[in-house]
Amino acid sequence: MGVETPFVIIFVFFSVVCHEIAHGFVALKLGDPTAYRMGRLTFNPISHIDPVGTILLPAFFLITKSPVILAWAKPVPVDPRNFRNPRKGMMLVALAGPLTNILIALLLTAVLHLAGSSLPDVLVHSLAMAALMNVVLTVFNLIPIPPLDGSRIVAYFLKGRTLRSYMRLERFGLFIVFGLLWIGAISSILYPALNFAIRHLDLFRFLPRYMFG
């Protein structure tokens, strides 16, 4: 990344905050006020900073000069016991985050197509890259490794011993994610998603040329 990096980091952090607020907001609508009572339904960045997901992981991607940035905010607390249907409630709460990132990507893309020609190049490039990072966040969070959102969706369709065995993976979840990142397995998922977004959202002309060699 070039001069756009600080702007992209700001956009990505805002996106992960929106992702977590969406979880808490849907939980509230379904009957669980835990996140609301703990003051987590706020855009105050301090309330959402996670040492690993908000600081260490993005720093790793910047140091390694990765073309993508992965990040997450401190997860909002959710108590499924407050839901009428706990399993369905957790699935809906989990879906809220990735759907929010999709909406942000579409919103940023709409801004570019409607007003991109009147914006400074650095802002155009930053918005386009931020749109792509939201696609990355969507796909990454839908990977079915506990505790990522995708695992909560998969868990809705599992029962009994299978469900219990699956959710026991959560204690090793971060190690599994970092292992898959290390061997490039997650990149093999993310890059096709990026290419799909660039083509179908028509973002190529808004991105800095250095991204394509």
Question: What digits encode the pLDDT tens for the residues 3-54?
Answer: 787 888 889 889 999 999 999 999 999 999 999 999 999 998 888 988 888 8
For the cut 80, the answer to whether the pLDDT of residue 66 exceeds it is no
Rounded-to-integer distance, Cα 205 and Cα 42, Å:
35
Question: Residue ranges per domain, the chain?
Answer: 5-212
pLDDT average, residue stretch 117-133? 94
pLDDT of residue 90: 97
Please state, in angstroms and rounded to a whole number, the distance separating the CA atoms of residues 166 and 144.
Answer: 10
154 has pLDDT over 80: yes
Indicate the average pLDDT of the chain: 91
* Residue 112 · residue 131 · CB < 8 Å: yes
Is residue 78 a contact partner of residue 90, using CB atoms and an 8 Å limit? yes
Mean pLDDT of 86-101: 97
**Helix (H) or strand (E) segment spanning residue 7:** helix 5-29
**Catalytic positions, written as ranges:** 20
Q: DSSP 3-state assignment of 208?
A: coil
Its pTM stands at: 0.90
* pLDDT above 60: residue 99: yes
| Separation CA 18–CA 98 (nearest Å) | 10
Cα 187 to Cα 39, 44, 66, 120, 178, distances in angstroms = 35, 31, 10, 31, 12
Mean of the pLDDT values across residues 153-170?
A: 95
Under the banding of pLDDT at 50, 70 and 90, the label for residue 1 is low
pLDDT at 213: 59
Q: Which of 105-119, 122-136, 174-188 has the lowest mean pLDDT?
A: 174-188
SS3 annotation, 132-155: HHHHHHHHHHCCCCCCCHHHHHHH
Question: What pLDDT score does 59 carry?
Answer: 80
Closest of 35, 48, 38, 39 to residue 82, by C-alpha: 35
